[in-house]
Structure 1
Amino acid sequence: MRETPNFTGWRATVLHREDNTTERLPRQLKLIGFEVTVQWQPLDAADLPDFVLVDADQGWDGLLPWSGKNAPRPLVALLGSEAPGRIAWAMQQGVGAIIAKPLASSAVYPALVMALGIHRERKAVIDKLNHLEERVRLRPLVHAAVERIIAERHVDEELAYTILRNCAMRRRMPMEQIAASILGGAEPMPEAG
């Protein structure tokens, strides 16, 4: 993320009990442009806000409607404790930034930018990993298509692979997709050479 985001119109939910933090933080978030909800009950998975700020000092499993580190929204922990268990809990929820309590207004915007940037980076890594896992899962199709080209064109494995790769490049399709098309009969057998 190279430029700082504009949060105007974004929805934020602050998961925190009523106290000094819940007075100051919503006011600061509104100045930044957020529409703010404050609650001390579990988030509804069907209606997630754009941003979540959670009290990591008193948070519990089940407060957030996801498990593990793959938070579906940028997440900021509000933390006044140095207790390792509270820090570990925040990390297990997928926190991307921490705002120390008592709250300093100048800490809010940088934490939001940091959490958003980390959330986007994590999502990009997960998407890339899923894409690579899909390609690995489909590799048997490529192997089967290469075997079919070998059998029908009477070429060696290296040339069969080259033929399949060139066909995929000409069609601007992934090799796995072109292999599936050849095996399914939707794509004619590519010519050798």
Structure 2
Amino acid sequence: MGAKLTVVVVEEDRDRAIAIVDALREATDCDVFVVGNSSALARRIAAHEPDIVLIDINSPTRDMLEELTLASGPIDRPVAMFVSNSAGGLAQAAVEAGVSAYVVDGLAPQRIKPVIDTAIARFRMVRQMRTELAETRRALEERKVIDRAKGLLMKVKGIDENAAYSLLRKTAMDQGRRVAEVAEALVTASELLR
């Protein structure tokens, strides 16, 4: 990574926060902001628009994990969580909550850069998959609407499927709209006329 990172560190212990900031600045070119207490955590993190959030917790509970991950916006940015103790099932809960990296045995200075790089790479991969999934769902829904509109046209006009699609496509081109938009309007209008 060549660009300068903006990192938010969530750490309540002042001395530990200073050590983390020093380790970050030594490991990579970054601007670091420390959030020392969890009041209004989501707003405080979002105010810095970080590239990544690092959370350092000794022994997280499920409630704390959920609150911190929701506040740090794992859908908006990568989140790396460093814990001292591994409690049963918390790693899986963290990943399910969107944490990009869950590291047991705390935040060791020599591991910061590889963990940040991995968290960012994993976040980008998951975001790409979410985008592709959303696009696929949208295309499937559009296909269903187009098929319903074709069925309506076939029934009302007594035409075959190809002619129905051609009519939808021609109407869309004439109106400067997408075929799915014309199909949606047709299906909506037919439901109103029932």
Shared fold by TM > 0.5?
A: yes
Question: Shift of residue 78 of structure 1?
Answer: 0.8
Question: Shift of residue 96 of structure 1?
Answer: 1.2
Taking a change above 3 Å as real, the CA distance of residues 83 and 47 of structure 1, as seen in their structure-2 partners, is closer
Among all aligned residue pairs of Structure 1 and Structure 2, give the percentage whose two residues are the same amino acid: 18
Taking a change above 3 Å as real, the CA distance of residues 22 and 7 of structure 1, as seen in their structure-2 partners, is farther
**Structure 2 partner of 1:191:** none
- Supply the AA of the counterpart residue of 1:36: V
Decide whether the 8 Å contact of 1:99 with 1:108 is kept in 2: no
**Structure 1 partner of 2:37:** 40
Taking a change above 3 Å as real, the CA distance of residues 66 and 44 of structure 1, as seen in their structure-2 partners, is closer
Per-residue displacement from partner, 1:128-182 (whole Å, max 9, x unpaired)? 2222223333344302431354357643225534x369769x8998642453477
Match of 2:125 among 121, 127, 148: 121
Match of 2:68 among 55, 60, 63: 63
**Structure 1 partner of 2:183:** 179
- 1:1-193 aligned within 5 A: 5-8=1-4, 10-18=5-13, 21-31=16-26, 32-38=28-34, 39-42=36-39, 43-45=41-43, 47-48=45-46, 49-50=49-50, 51-59=52-60, 60=64, 61-66=66-71, 71-150=75-154, 154-161=158-165, 163=166, 175-177=179-181, 179-180=183-184
Question: Shift of residue 111 of structure 1?
Answer: 0.9
The number of residue pairs the alignment matches comes to 178
What is the rounded CA distance, in whole Å, between the counterparts of 1:30 and 1:136 in structure 2?
A: 47
Taking a change above 3 Å as real, the CA distance of residues 126 and 158 of structure 1, as seen in their structure-2 partners, is same
Decide whether the 8 Å contact of 2:59 with 2:84 is kept in 1: no
Question: Shift of residue 122 of structure 1?
Answer: 1.4
So what's the TM-score if we normalise by structure 2?
0.68
Question: Shift of residue 23 of structure 1?
Answer: 2.7
Decide whether the 8 Å contact of 2:24 with 2:109 is kept in 1: no
Taking a change above 3 Å as real, the CA distance of residues 89 and 45 of structure 1, as seen in their structure-2 partners, is farther
Decide whether the 8 Å contact of 1:56 with 1:90 is kept in 2: no
Decide whether the 8 Å contact of 2:42 with 2:71 is kept in 1: no
What is the rounded CA distance, in whole Å, between the counterparts of 1:6 and 1:13 in structure 2?
A: 18
| SS of aligned partner of 2:110 | helix
What is the rounded CA distance, in whole Å, between the counterparts of 2:105 and 2:148 in structure 1?
A: 59
So what's the TM-score if we normalise by structure 1?
0.69
- Supply the AA of the counterpart residue of 1:37: F
Taking a change above 3 Å as real, the CA distance of residues 184 and 108 of structure 1, as seen in their structure-2 partners, is same
Taking a change above 3 Å as real, the CA distance of residues 124 and 46 of structure 1, as seen in their structure-2 partners, is farther
**Structure with more of its chain in helix, by fraction:** 2
CA RMSD, 1 decimal: 3.7
Question: Shift of residue 76 of structure 1?
Answer: 0.3
- Is the deviation greater in 100-109 or in 111-120? 100-109
Taking a change above 3 Å as real, the CA distance of residues 37 and 95 of structure 1, as seen in their structure-2 partners, is same
Unpaired runs of at least 5, structure 1: 186-193
